[in-house]
Amino acid sequence: MASNKNTKNLAQSAKKLRILLIDENTHRAEIVTSALGNSRYEISHLASPSGTLLRQVDQLQPDIIVIDIESPSRDILESLHTIKNIDPKPVVMFSSEEDTDTINQSIESGVSAYVVGDLEPHRVKPILDAAVARFREFQKLKTELSDTKQQLNSRKNIDQAKRILMKNRNISEDQAFHTMRKTAMDTGQKLDDVAKTIISMFNSL
Amino acid sequence: MMKLEKTQLTLGFSPLTDCAPFVVAKNLGYFEHWGLDVTLQKQNSWATLRDKLHAGVLDAAQMLAPMPIASTLGLGVAPIHVVTPMVLSQNGNGITLSEALVQELLSVNKIFQLEFPLDAKLLKNVIDYRIQHNKSKLSFATVFPYSCHHYQLKDWLLSGGITFDDVNISVVPPINMVDTMLSGDIDGFCVGGPWNAKAVRGSFGATVVTSSDIWQDCPEKVLGFLSSFVETNPNTVLAVCAALKQACIWLDSVPNRFETAVMMSQQGFLGEPLEVITPSLLGSCLTQAKLSPRSVPSYNQFSTTVDGNDVNNPDVEYGQWLLQKIQSSGQTPDGIETNGCIERIYRSDIYAQIAPLLEKLD
């Protein structure tokens, strides 16, 4: 499953970026679509999303969702993460009002969404370029954070497994560590996985 | 008259039956009376309404009762301290099942007619039947992750032994609810007025239970301000509350409620006709096409409950109850500090200052 996903991602990187545009204004949607004619973006337009939006997101797997901030459907996107546990998709919201900067400041931190001004044809491409760059940066930070967490967890597991071995076999910390490392090398597993096995075996005794 | 720090205000509201206090305060000149020049701004999305309030684009907003808590705790958004000095309405939601699901419910349970409020155990039988026959899970929609609708649907299903894991749950905006059910994407929903009545009028489904059957008299919509706004504009906040309280009192009378329904339909607040807006305001729950409506006197409550209690006091106990619902739905991340937070959000102390102001009027 995981490797499948990786190949898919690799293939995608060479491909166009998929944009799902949610806009009840069909005329504006046409202008936006034609403004992106010869670019790295491939756009799908949804005029009245209501019930079909979740299905669309699922089928299309868009790289970015672009939506009118006044659209009722924004609440559906908002729920993707909280209720459905779907990884949040980058969302660009556009607004014809003048207060976009202030709104932006308040939603900025931690949410992978942001507000731009009105979708004028000549601005569409630079807006999406900026959005892509920004979301990638955000994603990178998130990955780094989860890597750090992962490392901390794995250190905790190894320490716990060492203590179990030391107590049960009456050996030193060094010996316990060597035993685990040898098992890992012999079986081609990660040290963290060996530690987890020891912990779960001990727990089930 | 108090000296107001700010007189020009923009208030956000959601186009639902229980936006009535805003409609009344505007139409009857209550805001003007308190020296306020109020622009009402219709908001189609709860998330956008929230973001605009957080950004100060809206000075105040009609919020779902759990929303000030979610904002302050930073659930689904960057945390910012939001307070509510006043509850605007109680109850008002209903759960409607699609006509197809109603038929399935009748046949699985071998009954000829539904009884209201519906026992959720009958729905559990449908779910068990579907598992035995390898049929798909039922799908239900609510309006926002942090809404009474969400927790009321959860509690009603639980009363029949059904958990959220047994069904698919999604969010659909109220305005799209009926169409989404018609398209077959959902089998039922929990929503506020006028959308339950709309589904029954169109013979698309049956409203089997109302929120007051599930939780008796709980705040549904509240008035939300940024805490920073309350600190710098205390008198303006009192003026807004006083005008809305007057509107809520006016809404206690049934004849006035009919007039409100007329205002809402004529002025296009909800985009729906009178026959869809009026029933819940008059304490009538449309149940199913060809069946009599059910009398639910507490369907929409604005100022005084049927039992004579004050609707508008943002009692801390309500806030605690809602926080519990948020927590038991697994919506608070580990390690989040909630101790003492409700006292800072549900502000009875501000509400207590309104009564003396209104007394001076008489």
B199 & B314 share domain? no
Question: B55–A81: do the CB atoms touch at under 8 Å?
Answer: no
B79 & B64 share domain? yes
B143 & B49 share domain? no
Say how far apart CA A56 and CA B165 lie, in whole Å.
23
B155 & B223 share domain? no
* Burial (0-12, 13-18, 19+ Cβ within 10 Å), B290: exposed
3 state DSSP class of B91: strand
The least confident of A105-114, B141-150, B249-258 is A105-114
- What range does the domain containing B164 cover? 93-214
B15 & B87 share domain? yes
Note the pLDDT tens digit of each residue in B339-362.
Answer: 999 999 999 999 999 999 999 886
B200 & B53 share domain? no
* CATH number of the domain encompassing residue B153: 3.40.190.10
Question: A70–B175: do the CB atoms touch at under 8 Å?
Answer: no
> Domain ranges in chain A?
2-143, 150-203
Interface pTM, i.e. ipTM: 0.86
A61 - beta bridge partners?
A: none
Taking residues B24-37, report their average pLDDT: 97
Report how many Cβ contacts below 8 Å link chain A to chain B. Answer: 100
Say how far apart CA A139 and CA B304 lie, in whole Å.
50
How far is the alpha carbon of A203 from chain B, nearest alpha carbon, in Å? 24
Contact status, residue A91 vs residue A112, Cβ threshold 8 Å: yes
Asked if the bond preceding B194 is cis, omega within 30° of 0, the reply is yes
* Burial (0-12, 13-18, 19+ Cβ within 10 Å), A4: exposed
Say how far apart CA A56 and CA A33 lie, in whole Å.
18
Question: A75–B46: do the CB atoms touch at under 8 Å?
Answer: yes
Question: B180–A51: do the CB atoms touch at under 8 Å?
Answer: yes
Nearest residue, CB atoms, A72 vs list B54, B169, B176: B176
**Does residue B293 lie in a domain region?**
no
Residue of A nearest to B53 (CA): A103
B89 - beta bridge partners?
A: B221
CB-based contact, B180 to chain A, within 8 Å = yes
Residue B311: the pLDDT is 97
Sheet strands (E) in chain A: 17-22, 41-46, 64-68, 91-94, 113-116
What is the dotted CATH code of the domain comprising A150-203? 1.10.10.10
Residue A89: the pLDDT is 72
Asked if residue A167 has pLDDT above 50, the reply is: yes
Q: Taking all residues of chain B, what is their mean pLDDT, rounded to a whole number?
A: 95
Question: A83–B179: do the CB atoms touch at under 8 Å?
Answer: no
Domain A2-143 bears CATH identifier 3.40.50.2300: yes
Nearest to B299 by CA among B19, B17, B15: B17
B140 & B243 share domain? no
Q: Which of B170, B178, B181 should one mutate to test binding to chain A, selecting the residue with the greatest count of A CBs within 10 A? A: B170
User: C-alpha distances in angstroms, B326 versus A62, B66, B166, B338, B347?
Assistant: 30, 8, 19, 11, 19
Q: Please count the structural domains in chain B.
A: 2
Residue A23: the pLDDT is 83
Contact status, residue B2 vs residue B238, Cβ threshold 8 Å: yes
Say how far apart CA B31 and CA B240 lie, in whole Å.
7
- Residue B284's CB: how many other CB atoms inside 10 A? 17
The least confident of B51-55, B229-233, B242-246, B315-319 is B51-55
